[in-house]
Amino acid sequence: MQLTELTNQLSEVSHTPEAEARFILEEYGDDSDSIYDAISERKSGKPLQYIFGSWKFRNLNLLLDERVLIPRLETEITVDVALRCLSEFVKEGLTALSVCRVLDVGCGSGAIGLSILKEGSEYVENHLKEHFTNKEVRLEITLSDISNDALEVARINYEQNFNMVFENATHNPPQFLKGSWFEALQRVGESNYQNKFHLIVSNPPYISSGEDLPREVESYEPRVALRSGKTGCEDLSHIILNASPYLADDGWLVLELAPHQADELAMLAEATYKNVSTERDLAGRKRVLVCQKI
Ligand SMILES: C[S@@+](CC[C@H](N)C(=O)[O-])C[C@H]1O[C@@H](n2cnc3c(N)ncnc32)[C@H](O)[C@@H]1O
């Protein structure tokens, strides 16, 4: 099938039919049966990412299905901000080798935590070259989620995207924990995690219960990954109010949010953290809240 015909077929379900048509042709080449199946699934509303079963996110090729949220473009900004915070943190440490402990809470597919694991050591070392010539950074990542399904997908994504040989590797194997927000840490012995993390990052659900969503989001993506109570700020507030005991001194909290929530949540963070700021996405909207443990 040609690009034009495919684009026409997709225009009834997609805002970006030509881009999607190109993805389909790239994925299936001239396998016309697969192309017809994909069009039919797409016309029923299923997102392309779930039809393919995998999608690129930064340097990862992620398994994606209806057990997990499809990582959004904004979340790449969240990862950028998190990497910058990690680099800030390591700059303060004066030893040649730094162990950086990171928690991605509400990890879903693992998009954020696994990207930090993939890119973190090199990013931090490159950014610190002007301060240290031989800085080595070893990462320890903990990924948690309330959903067993999500943790299963995150674990597979780890296995598929990383070389499993740990000798001389820049990271230890990640830890996967199940539980609601910081209760996941308490279940395995709270004291182990007090003051532990140099960075806690999250893209929690932040859509209010009454907000309308596009049909394909509502029907296919997991509700637990999208909705957060009446205002949409419930999970974000909970994380802001409860993260501090788990952060190391001067550790960073990085949270993705919706632009209209940014000012209210920044005010909440001011009460407990220092250096509170909000970073903008590519469209110039406030998208990531950043703050540091006092
Ligand atoms: C918006 S999705 C983000 C997923 C992934 N971090 C990303 O950016 O693509 C939110 C995630 O938080 C998880 N979640 C929802 N409620 C939670 C809770 N109470 N405790 C821990 N995780 C929760 C969901 O299962 C989902 O994986």
| pLDDT tens string 155-212 | 999 999 997 666 567 778 899 999 999 999 986 765 588 889 999 999 999 999 999 9
The residues of the chain that CATH labels 3.40.50.150 are: 57-293
Strand partners, 264: none
Query: What are 17's two structure tokens?
Result: 């039919």
H/E segment holding residue 274 = strand 273-280
Residue 88's region, left for phi above 0, alpha for psi from -120 to 50, else beta, is alpha
Q: Which of 99-103, 105-109, 210-214 has the highest mean pLDDT?
A: 105-109
Q: What is the pTM of this model?
A: 0.94
- Fold held by 57-293: Rossmann fold (3.40.50)
Structure token digits, residue 10: 């997709």
Is pLDDT at 125 greater than 80 in this prediction? Answer: no
Of all protein residues, the one whose alpha carbon is nearest to atom 5 of ligand 1 is 108
Residue range 235-258, pLDDT digits in tens: 999 999 999 999 999 999 999 999
3-class DSSP state for residue 163? coil
- Residue 248, helix vs strand vs coil: strand
pLDDT computed for residue 151 by the predictor: 98
Residue 51 is predicted with a pLDDT of 97
pLDDT(49) > 90 = yes
CA atoms in the 13 A half-sphere facing the CB of 89: 31
Residue 219, CA distances (Å) to 63, 66, 223 in order:
19, 10, 9
Predicted pLDDT of residue 95: 59
User: Which whole number is the average pLDDT over 126-132?
Assistant: 73
Out of 144, 187, 203, mutate this one to test ligand 1's pocket (max ligand atoms within 8 Å of CB): namely 203
Q: For residue 130, is pLDDT > 80?
A: no
CA 265 to chain CA mean position, Å: 19
The rounded distance, in Å, linking the Cα atoms of 149 and 255 is 23
Residue 148 has pLDDT above 80, yes or no: yes
Q: Quick check: helix, strand or coil at residue 199?
A: strand
Mean pLDDT within 72-96: 86
Q: Work out the average pLDDT over 214-241.
A: 95
Which of 63, 173, 201 lies closest to 117 in space, CA to CA?
A: 173
Q: Token pair for residue 139? A: 């990462």
Average of pLDDT values for 118-139? 78
- Proportion of the chain above pLDDT 70, given as a percent: 93
Residue 146 CB-density burial (10 A; 0-12 exposed, 13-18 middle, 19+ buried) = middle
- Which of 72, 107, 237 should be mutated for ligand 1, with most atoms under 8 A from CB? 107
First to last CA, the chain: 59
pLDDT the model gives residue 93: 67
Distance CA 116, CA 102 (A): 9
Q: Give the mean pLDDT of 20-40.
A: 93
Res 2: pLDDT: 87
What pLDDT does residue 87 have? Answer: 87
Residues with Cβ within 6 A of ligand 1? 69, 71, 75, 106-109, 111-112, 145-147, 150, 180-181, 203-205, 224-225
